[in-house]
Amino acid sequence: MSESERKDTPEQAEFRAYCRDWLRDNHPGESPVRLPQSPIEIMTEPQLHWLQAWQKAAYDAGLVGCDYPEAVGGGGRKDCQRVANEEMLAARTPFLPNVIGLGMAAPTLFYHAQEPLKERLLPRLLSGEDIWCQGFSEPGAGSDLASVQTFAERRGDRWVINGHKVWTSLAHFAEWMILLLRTDKSHKYDGLSYFVVPIRSALGKGVTVRPLIKITGETGFNEVIFEDLEVDDSYRLDELGKGWQVAMTTLLHERGGGELVTPRSGGLTSKTSFSPTARNLRTLAQETPRGNGTAADDPLLRDRIVRQFIREEALQQNQRRSRVPALQDHPMRLQLQYKLLISELAQDTARLGVEVAGPASTLYLADEHAPTGGQWPLAYMNSYGMTIAAGTSEIQRNILGERVLGLAKSK
Amino acid sequence: MSESERKDTPEQAEFRAYCRDWLRDNHPGESPVRLPQSPIEIMTEPQLHWLQAWQKAAYDAGLVGCDYPEAVGGGGRKDCQRVANEEMLAARTPFLPNVIGLGMAAPTLFYHAQEPLKERLLPRLLSGEDIWCQGFSEPGAGSDLASVQTFAERRGDRWVINGHKVWTSLAHFAEWMILLLRTDKSHKYDGLSYFVVPIRSALGKGVTVRPLIKITGETGFNEVIFEDLEVDDSYRLDELGKGWQVAMTTLLHERGGGELVTPRSGGLTSKTSFSPTARNLRTLAQETPRGNGTAADDPLLRDRIVRQFIREEALQQNQRRSRVPALQDHPMRLQLQYKLLISELAQDTARLGVEVAGPASTLYLADEHAPTGGQWPLAYMNSYGMTIAAGTSEIQRNILGERVLGLAKSK
Amino acid sequence: MTQPTNFGFGDECALLKDSARKFFAEHLPVDRLHALVAANPAPEAASAAAWREDLWPAMVELGWTALAIPESAGGLGLPAVAVAGLMEEHGRAAFPGPLAATLATSYVLAAADSGSAALEEIAAGRSATLAFANAAGSWHPGDSAVTAKGGRLSGTACFVQEPRKAERLLVAAQDESGLGLYWLASDAEGVTVAPDTIVDLTRDQGRVSFDEAVAEPVGRNGLAAFHAAMPALWTLLAADMVGAGEWQLQTTVEYAQARKQFDRPLGFFQAVKHQLVDVMTRVDESKSLLYNAACALDHEPERALQLAHMAKASAADMAAFASGRSVQCHGGIGFTWECYVHLFFKRQKHSEVLWGDGAWHRARLADILLGEVA
Amino acid sequence: MTQPTNFGFGDECALLKDSARKFFAEHLPVDRLHALVAANPAPEAASAAAWREDLWPAMVELGWTALAIPESAGGLGLPAVAVAGLMEEHGRAAFPGPLAATLATSYVLAAADSGSAALEEIAAGRSATLAFANAAGSWHPGDSAVTAKGGRLSGTACFVQEPRKAERLLVAAQDESGLGLYWLASDAEGVTVAPDTIVDLTRDQGRVSFDEAVAEPVGRNGLAAFHAAMPALWTLLAADMVGAGEWQLQTTVEYAQARKQFDRPLGFFQAVKHQLVDVMTRVDESKSLLYNAACALDHEPERALQLAHMAKASAADMAAFASGRSVQCHGGIGFTWECYVHLFFKRQKHSEVLWGDGAWHRARLADILLGEVA
């Protein structure tokens, strides 16, 4: 019996057994194409289509979106997504490609959209048929998100949008975007509104998507430029001027603090893509010659590798403890730490991997002699995406200091 | 030939030979009483008197204050204090007790006092007969020094002072205090003025000195309370309302950035008191049993001890490089780093000493089994005095970021 | 065996933790603690080892000495997570006294499965402590410098915790069978307690010398008993450190909210704010790891050793960091004797090195996780 | 022998450093460098190893290849501090090309006291590089996997720097006498260069295989020559890293001054400001240590080994820290290919591990400062 099973309700227990059976027979196996380290680095159509097929299969089987109501394409279950996630994790399935849709757009639609819009958009979002992206950051609005300048001008029941969004992961594959923009220039926060926008159908007709290249050489995120794009007022979420509040719902779920559990599959232990984990570090050290033995014999590296094992365990146990009210002082204290800790942990583990690999860490993806296929320097560079995107580590520390510790706002 | 001799002027070379001869014959030897780790922790009269006798002897011999003009009790030499300091360092003499006087009051008097005041006060300052202290910080004015509230009210040619100063090292032995106070409540910076105040003669008559006890249990700094203390206007330095500018001269010299070289003796390599240095760390490690050998065999500790050797060497080389314009971009860049780096280096070395000592690091000064007489935990605790006093490390980083790197002010 | 999701920390545990918090807050709030243990600041003063001996009967009455003792030996047989909750509050209060030493002793005795009267004495309220370290500070009981011959002890045990407060001693001594456990009164004939002078004001430590002191052998394999009990000792010490770390965090946060410089509360400045956030995340990591280790003691004994090493290693680093930041962020006032932060700073330094520092635990973890180096 | 106070860094050195800075800034400012080396971002592209080969004759004309070569061998015989000044500017420009490799080779040749024509070839402008590491990445030349028999080389040298840019190779090869040095053209018969695909866009690296390649033996004791020259190699690499670190600092400072968030320049926020100050102090420590080491090469050879270990160890840690902060403080833009910081980030990662990382140098320092462990 696994750790979580002890507390399963009868519905959960039955669903868990179902998931386990289904996964045993329907695991998609190894990908025929090299997969990136996370969904936001999907670069090619073959990668995308293989992963979309997996999401669709998992959705059709009821493992994705199971806690959403049936009316919006969900499974109508209660507290079962966590069960499905645990079983997918245990089965080491590939990740779900529609990561922005599932983690950010879906809960935002759920809490802020009108019923007809939910019923129209959520089924194809949950199934992965429609990929979603997020239009929040701009060249002048990074950490200071509320200073977005993308503007929508009202013309009757329509809005005309002009502006420039950046770091929009998956925009090159996305049908839809969640879009934070300005409808009033005289108020910083209260001048913001929130829309969903069909971008794929508008490519070349008011929407331009240009790939941005990351320091790794990979693409995966984009600039999106709006030039007189017209959208209907029915695509607005919640009231005019309430965009900041809607965006908070999005960010809350992004930071793992929402009520609705995001469907997740794979991740750290997936066998289909590489992640900078302590276990992988150990394997690398044991395979790296050093002196008369291996790097795993070096007392300094042993100490540092063990530190990463401890931090990984601590993060897992933080998540476990976040569900035990008697062992917490402040309800958001552990949840709001997650993004900061996981990103810095991954960065430090990846960096240590580069050190463990030694001179061969200079070798990159296409070098036949690169340890672990050059994934360690790739992961180290990508880790800065984690500590920068979705609120830099500096912003995360502000949030924690202000919301959890009650210290004065730094801005 | 030592490193510095190569560049000696003829005057310096002759003076160096003189210093060396004098020190060979006049080294005071071991103190009959246990000395503290630095002058600001002098606790007892026997400690003070022994150290004062040493300063007086060195002054009489011309080794202290040699770059000051003869009219104010100096030696009238040019660029010779550095020579004397180097020779005292090499001879491992004890430290000079009048540390606030020499390092802060003397240059401030030199640049801002009228001649008669200089001629009256500097000779006994340089000789160590008059101990000086500094009245800057207050309960409400720590990092934000310019918010001092101690107030002087004018009554003709006299001023009546009321207020409360804290962290005044050596106040319990001091004849004189340099005092930053407020003469105008309507301007934060321009309302400040700067005085020298005789405090010993006013004890019980407007001045109360109360020892503050440090976390180590040691005394050495004090609260000083002024209640209607009257002083003459001739004790004011520079113009009314220019106190902040005068204080900047004091702080510049405290941070090692002044033109006038502070007389120094002993310090890190003195044999008469303990300091947390890499060499002492090595000795401790080599004497501490660990497993079948000593702590000096432990690869992790070796790595960390070596790091401290590197940082010590770097700091010495920073000081050397600060005198080579061709190898610097910004004139204050290295000097302004000194206080930050030396205090954090000492803290980290002391902390590592505690770790190296292992279980026996729990033992304190009076325990016969304490490694190095319990000096390591003492030094570790005292190191927080270094990272807090005279501008916390946080303030030092602000100063460096703003003055050297030109970043926007954080306040 | 696997662990319950909630660490097995149920209502009974929450109740115990809550009542402990109230007990400590009522009977020894930090101002009274300071008055009690920090009365003499002289740096060369001997350690006074002051504590509220008058509170001991109440603590016994609450069953605290009997928590970890099996019901068969007259104890309450509570799970380790319950004891961890108590010890977290014990640390938050920086509570002085022999409770932690007594609980530790009860774990070793329970592991020795002695069937002797020793456990019953503790269950009935006798305080006790362990004597096993040698002069070099080895925490390996097999290195004990005490020997036993015909039931009589000779030699000296060092780094004994609370020797002046504990009424009984459980001694690891070299004897014919290997390492034996011996039980005697701390004031028995032939026993001399030489107190150490220590930095920590809330603790007592000393050397205990034995000169043909008569002692009762308990259990069979002393080394095995110690090894079985050490994970519990490390975990409970980590709990004390986490409680103390949380006190350091909250107290410094309060100061940063109240203290103004440059017309702003200190906490406005990111240099202070971010340090405090880092203290919080480290306290939380250590807290999660300690309940994980405690739960393993109760439900997953095969992983208890590994998880206890993790808990103590994490707590040691957290304590060092939280202590440094608590003084630094308090500025000048934090460097004074009158400010309470030094009590916790010193207690944490003591706990950090006690029964193995971070590097020591990580070296043992490396042998488990990466294999021993030939 | 002792060191001069000013590191021996006189007017001639300052002039060389200044002219180098102008040369690099004029001929390959960072925007043109980026266009040159970062033209193809595809993550699986082979390393292009682009450089301005057309600038080489001018650099030779300025005497740069001859700097470290004794006057007796046709060189300029400048002190190491002068060469360090040049290399600091070389790093500040992240300059691609075989200059560093050529200078390194000249130090080994000079230490070998070969009397051969090799040094004269370099003085006259031939570029060259060293081939000595084995496939496991050992930086100990005695571990070379190349063998020499009757003047013919066999085997493979790995982690050779700039193999496609250098015209000559100086190879450490196992021969009858122990370790010998061998000199040959990089396009000689029997020599195959297999370029690595590397992260660093400003460098070239590869494996050089020898199949009965005819080479000229130079000097007598190759191992001694390498050991004598290594401190110079580490010091000059540290100089390159310090120059690059200073670029990272200044570029990030400029961004923090210009970029506004929350109506404030980024540099207002202590989280950014203090990180940049820490970068500065580390750059400065490394810079002081590298000129200290260079001066020791010139004036205090008995301490050159120790001080060079310090310089490279410090530079390695500095480079890692400065690189990380340069990307992080640039935020999203710093994570893009179009922002120049990645060029320096990648160069510093390469330099960090080249010829021994921080831990490797500290382990050797420990043997010097603390004695070897039996």
**Out of A363, A389, A410, whose CB is closest to D196?**
A363
Burial A5-18 (b: 16+ CB within 10 A, else e): eeebeeebeebbeb
Position C106 confidence tier, pLDDT thresholds 50, 70, 90: very high
Angstroms from B312 CA to nearest CA on chain D? 10
Share of chain C above pLDDT 70, in %: 99
Average pLDDT of span B184-195? 95
Residues from chain B contacting residue A300 (CB–CB below 8 Å): 299-300, 303
Position B405 confidence tier, pLDDT thresholds 50, 70, 90: very high
Residues from chain D contacting residue B297 (CB–CB below 8 Å): 373
d(CA D261, CA B104): 40
Query: What subunits make at least 3 CB pairs under 8 angstroms with D?
Result: A, B, C
Write the pLDDT tens digit of every residue in A31-67.
888 888 788 888 899 999 999 999 999 999 999 999 9
Are B389 and C332 within 8 A, CB to CB? Answer: yes
C44 touches chain B (CB under 8 A): yes
**Out of C46, C133, C328, whose CB is closest to B384?**
C328
Interface mutation vs chain C, best among D266, D270, D272, most C CBs within 10 Å:
D270
pLDDT at D106 over 60: yes
d(CA C266, CA C106): 45
pLDDT, mean over chain B: 92
CA atoms within 13 A on the CB side of B77: 22
d(CA D35, CA D41): 11
Write the pLDDT tens digit of every residue in A124-174.
999 999 999 999 999 888 888 999 999 999 999 999 999 999 999 999 999
- Residue where the block lists tokens 């028995």: C188
Q: What is the pLDDT of residue D182?
A: 97
**Out of A167, A355, A360, whose CB is closest to D332?**
A167
- Does residue B282 sit in helix, strand or coil? helix
Q: What is the β-pairing status of strands C191-195 and B236-237?
A: unpaired
**Out of B358, B362, B397, whose CB is closest to C198?**
B362
Write the pLDDT tens digit of every residue in C273-285.
999 999 999 999 9
Q: What is the pLDDT of residue C116?
A: 73
pLDDT, mean over chain A: 92
Write the pLDDT tens digit of every residue in B146-171.
999 999 999 999 999 999 999 999 99
Residues from chain A contacting residue B300 (CB–CB below 8 Å): 299-300, 303
pLDDT at B269 over 50: no
pLDDT at B270 over 50: no
Write the pLDDT tens digit of every residue in B332-387.
899 899 999 999 999 999 999 999 999 999 999 999 999 999 999 999 999 999 99
Position B255 confidence tier, pLDDT thresholds 50, 70, 90: confident
pLDDT at C41 over 50: yes
Average pLDDT of span D127-146? 96
Write the pLDDT tens digit of every residue in A221-236.
899 999 999 999 999 9
Beta bridge partners of B154: B159
D307 touches chain B (CB under 8 A): yes
Write the pLDDT tens digit of every residue in A328-371.
988 889 989 999 999 999 999 999 999 999 999 999 999 999 99
Q: What is the pLDDT of residue B268?
A: 42
Write the pLDDT tens digit of every residue in A170-185.
999 999 999 999 999 9
Residues from chain A contacting residue D357 (CB–CB below 8 Å): 355, 358
Query: What subunits make at least 3 CB pairs under 8 angstroms with C?
Result: A, B, D
Average pLDDT of span C115-135? 94
Share of chain A above pLDDT 70, in %: 96
Question: How many residue pairs bridge chain B and chain C with CB atoms within 8 Å of each other?
Answer: 131
Measured CA distances, D50 to D33, D206, D356 (Å) = 9, 14, 25
Burial class (CB in 10 A: 0-12, 13-18, 19+), C77: middle
| Of residues A360, A367, A207, the one with CA closest to residue A285 | A360
Measured CA distances, D204 to A387, D38, D163 (Å) = 30, 13, 7
Structure tokens at A158: 């329509």
D270 touches chain C (CB under 8 A): yes
- Asked if D367 and B299 touch (Cβ cutoff 8 Å), the reply is no
Output the pTM of the full model. Answer: 0.92
Write the pLDDT tens digit of every residue in B23-34.
999 999 888 888
What is the per-residue DSSP string for A91-103? TTPPPPS-HHIII
Residues from chain D contacting residue A410 (CB–CB below 8 Å): 269
Position B260 confidence tier, pLDDT thresholds 50, 70, 90: confident
Position A268 confidence tier, pLDDT thresholds 50, 70, 90: very low
pLDDT at B278 over 70: yes
pLDDT at B126 over 90: yes
Average pLDDT of span B80-99? 92
Beta bridge partners of D131: D171
Which positions in chain B have a beta carbon within 8 angstroms of at least one beta carbon in chain A?
Answer: 299-300, 303
Position B272 confidence tier, pLDDT thresholds 50, 70, 90: low
Burial class (CB in 10 A: 0-12, 13-18, 19+), B259: exposed
Write the pLDDT tens digit of every residue in D262-291.
889 999 999 999 999 999 999 999 999 999
pLDDT at A273 over 80: no
Are D345 and A364 within 8 A, CB to CB? Answer: no
d(CA C109, CA D201): 64
Contact partners, residue A134, CB within 8 Å, separation at least 6: A100, A104, A105, A168, A169, A177, A178, A250
pLDDT at A4 over 60: no
- Asked if C230 and C165 touch (Cβ cutoff 8 Å), the reply is no
Q: Which residue of B has its CA nearest to D312?
A: B310
d(CA C62, CA B115): 76
pLDDT at A192 over 70: yes
Q: How far, in whole angstroms, is CA D108 from its chain's centroid?
A: 14
pLDDT at B4 over 60: no
Structure tokens at A95: 């990740």
pLDDT at B6 over 70: no
Position A269 confidence tier, pLDDT thresholds 50, 70, 90: very low
Are D205 and A362 within 8 A, CB to CB? Answer: yes
- Asked if C100 and C91 touch (Cβ cutoff 8 Å), the reply is no
Average pLDDT of span C305-330? 98
Q: What is the ipTM of this complex?
A: 0.94
